[in-house]
């Protein structure tokens, strides 16, 4: 591997979120909260993955707005620019360029096995090649920055495993070029389910009423969604994803917010009804999101600043990506 222009002393993390709609509590507990909690331990790069977003149709004006909204939410949730770079994927062209190189070493059979592709393509009338190729672009995102760790929710685990396979294959064929990354999945909150249907993942792209808890929902909407959440008729508070998915989902949200043990949480709720559970979870969610919302709306008053931050951060980390891209091009015989 050739020398890097900026060798980090700390290990590096890389992760991102698609600007495909309103971020929800699943994005927060599965990804953002852990990025914030661990940010001082690592050198972090957090991306707004707009090129991934366009793998399914987007309204251009909405997409542009969502990119800025996600960037402001990163900061409002507590991402510190002292420890992290925050940038927009399409502002660094090396992502697309490396994805092409990786396409040429990735067997189609590997992509055909991706469960997210199967799920998302089933919802589309016409499936673009980009949706099929999504995990290869994600591999490029991660390995351009020599990331050691990729903190994500459970649904992205398969994609990080694929990234490892692609790296091993590339390094084996063309010589040591990329770091093999590891996935970091939180113990609680890694898979938050829809409140309306606790057997399917909470998703930004679902517009069903009462499906998700959006980070910018006002307190009364958050409370109403939780009070209406689907549970069961067993009247038994237990962590049992198979038989009581709705109750388990609420407990999981509470556990991820409070960082308390299952045992401790069960002690709090045993013998009490679902109404009490829902009310307590609603209070915890509102208390978590209110300060985030306040910071977000303060930032939103000054849109020029967020654009400036995104530009400066992209300019700062672009040389890292370009350096690694050049190494790949050299090893493939495309450059001297």
Q: Which residues are catalytic?
A: 120, 201, 204
CB of 31 to ligand AQP, least distance (A): 4
Residue (128 or 326) nearer to ligand AQP, CB: 128
Closest CA to 152 of 49, 302, 10: 49
Cα torsion 41, 303, 217, 49 to 10°: value is: -50
The number of beta carbons lying within 10 Å of the beta carbon of residue 294 is: 11
CB of 154 to ligand AQP, least distance (A): 7
Tokens of 40: 């001082």
Residue (28 or 269) nearer to ligand AQP, CB: 28
CB of 19 to ligand AQP, least distance (A): 8
CB distance 31 to 47 below 8 Å: no
Residue (285 or 327) nearer to ligand AQP, CB: 285
CB of 293 to ligand AQP, least distance (A): 19
Closest CA to 327 of 97, 164, 107, 162: 97
Residue (203 or 280) nearer to ligand AQP, CB: 203
How far is Cα of residue 163 from the mean position of the Cα atoms in its chain?
16
The number of beta carbons lying within 10 Å of the beta carbon of residue 42 is: 21
CB distance 24 to 181 below 8 Å: no
- Binding residues for ligand AQP, rule: CB under 6 A, are 17-18, 20-21, 26-27, 29-31, 152-153, 155-156, 190-192, 201-205
CB distance 174 to 331 below 8 Å: yes
* Position with the least CB separation from ligand AQP: 30
């Amino acid at each position: 591997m050739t020398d890097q222009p900026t060798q980090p002393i700390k290990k590096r993390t890389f992760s991102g979120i698609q600007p495909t709609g309103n971020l929800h509590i699943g994005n927060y507990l599965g990804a953002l909260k852990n990025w914030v909690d661990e940010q001082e331990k690592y050198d972090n790069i957090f991306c707004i993955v707009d090129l991934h977003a366009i793998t399914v149709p987007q309204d251009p004006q909405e997409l542009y707005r969502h990119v800025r909204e996600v960037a402001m939410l990163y900061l409002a949730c507590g991402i510190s620019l002292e420890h992290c770079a925050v940038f927009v994927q399409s502002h660094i062209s090396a992502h697309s360029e490396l994805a092409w190189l990786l396409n040429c070493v990735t067997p189609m059979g590997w992509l055909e096995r991706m469960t997210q592709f199967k799920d998302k393509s089933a919802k589309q009338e016409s499936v673009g090649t980009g949706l099929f190729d999504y995990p290869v672009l994600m591999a490029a995102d991660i390995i351009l920055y020599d990331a050691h760790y990729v903190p994500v929710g459970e649904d992205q685990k398969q994609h990080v495993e694929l990234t490892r396979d692609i790296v091993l294959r590339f390094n084996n064929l063309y010589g040591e070029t990329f770091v093999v990354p590891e996935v970091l999945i939180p113990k609680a909150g890694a898979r938050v389910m829809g409140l309306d249907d606790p057997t399917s993942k909470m998703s930004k792209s679902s517009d069903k009423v009462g499906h998700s808890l959006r980070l910018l929902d006002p307190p009364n909407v958050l409370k109403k969604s939780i009070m209406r959440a689907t549970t069961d008729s067993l009247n038994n508070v237990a962590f049992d994803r198979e038989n009581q998915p709705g109750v388990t989902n609420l407990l999981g949200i509470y556990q991820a917010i409070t960082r308390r043990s299952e045992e401790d949480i069960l002690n709090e709720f045993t013998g009490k009804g679902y109404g009490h559970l829902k009310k307590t979870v609603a209070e915890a969610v509102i208390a978590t999101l209110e300060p985030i919302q306040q910071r977000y709306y303060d930032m939103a008053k000054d849109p020029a600043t967020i654009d400036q931050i995104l530009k400066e951060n992209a300019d700062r980390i672009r040389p890292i990506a370009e350096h690694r891209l050049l190494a790949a091009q050299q090893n493939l015989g495309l450059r001297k």
